[in-house]
Chain A
Amino acid sequence: MHIQDGFLTGQWAVTWFGTASVFVAKGIYDVTKKAEKILMFKPLLGLVSAAVFFISLLPIPVPITGTSSHPCGTPLAAILVGPFVSIVLSVVSLLLQALFFAHGGITTLGANVMSEGVIGSLVGYVIFRLGRKMGFSLGIAAGIAGFAGDIAVYCTTSLELALGMPGVHNLTAAKAFLAFSGLYLPTQLPLAILEGLVTGAMLKYIAKVRPDILYNLGILEKPEK
């Protein structure tokens, strides 16, 4: 989902920068507030930021299509540290990837933050919360959130490309969206299932080993004594 420099017109690149910056500002505010309130928040932030950076850079081969792609990590991050904090982590990760790893561009950073950071985090978080309200277990709700967040990221990237692609062409935005999502989704579908499984397993592991973390973050309700 890393859109390279040159693939969006200036107007759309600026639009995505502007939109994403609102969410990033809220995220920075949340980081400082949560770090003050919750003692184990900083180590958790370190853990999650390293995970997001690594997961979103890891090209996993998908044998059935013969291609490779990467999961996102932001749905898991959003569930653990909050959706807006997760957006800040995606900015750091995407900036490093654009500067040193030839993954994504600088002018398209806003669009990439919008898809992986904002949409991945918000969809993952909302689906997780809805799943919990509907009575799903922690692992299942997180698993569905991981899957849905991953797919939402790639659909958003396809939309961004369809709306902002440069050059002269005779494709409507709808047709371009179908062309780009048709290119991503066959590879991404198995990886989204994998991301869902990892997200669910991670939440279940933390609930087993350190449930107090989930109580403090408001992910689980503390059982009454």
Chain B
Amino acid sequence: MIKKVVLVLVLVTAIVLFIPSAALAGQKWQGTDDLLDSKMKQITGVAAKKPLVDVNQGNLGLFLFAAGGFTAGTVFGYQWRRLFHEKAGTGND
């Protein structure tokens, strides 16, 4: 029974997440944080202050996100290997 519920959840998630034809928004893939910026300006008239590093300058954003993803992935992969491969089944450490 539980397996069937999980399977249904997985299928629903997959349908909702991966069928682009269902997309509703006029401007595709805008982040909710950006939507919030617009909503806040509409309600209060206040715009978000500029971030410390403006990631919209040329390829700077691309570089930062790639570098951040690479660093996080490297740390994650290294520790994953330590925990689940090198030490699998060896007790406390």
**A positions within 8 Å CB-CB of B:** 1-2, 4-7, 38-40, 43-44, 46-47, 49-51, 53-54, 57, 59-69, 96, 98-103, 105-106, 137, 140, 143, 161, 165-169, 171, 176, 179-180, 183-184, 187-188, 190, 193-194, 196-197, 206, 209-210, 212-213, 216
Contact = CB atoms under 8 A, between A and B. Distances in A.
B88 A209 contact: yes
Contact of B64 (A5, A101, A143, A171): A101
B48 A197 contact: no
Main secondary structure of the interface of B (DSSP, over half): helix
Contacts of B92: 38-40, 212, 216
B59 interface: no
Interface string B15-39: 0111111111111111111011101
Contacts of A69: 31-33
A105 B31 contact: no
Given A6-B48, A68-B29, 9 more contacts: A4-B51, A40-B92, A100-B53, A161-B40, A180-B39, A197-B6, A197-B9, A210-B83, A210-B88
9 contacts: A40-B87, A50-B76, A62-B16, A66-B23, A99-B52, A102-B51, A171-B43, A183-B36, A194-B17
Q: Which 5 A-B pairs have the closest CB atoms?
A: A66-B25, A167-B44, A4-B48, A66-B23, A102-B51
Contacts of A176: 43
Query: Which of A63, A69, A196 has the most C-beta atoms of chain B within 10 angstroms of its own C-beta?
Result: A63
Contacts, number: 190
Contacts of A5: 48-49, 51
A106 B23 contact: no
Given A39-B93, A168-B44, A169-B43, A63 B18 contact: yes
Contacts of A167: 43-46
A50 B79 contact: yes
Nearest to B13: A193
A180 B30 contact: no
Nearest to A206: B84
B10 to A, nearest CB: 7
Query: Which of B17, B33, B82, B88 has the most C-beta atoms of chain A within 10 angstroms of its own C-beta?
Result: B33
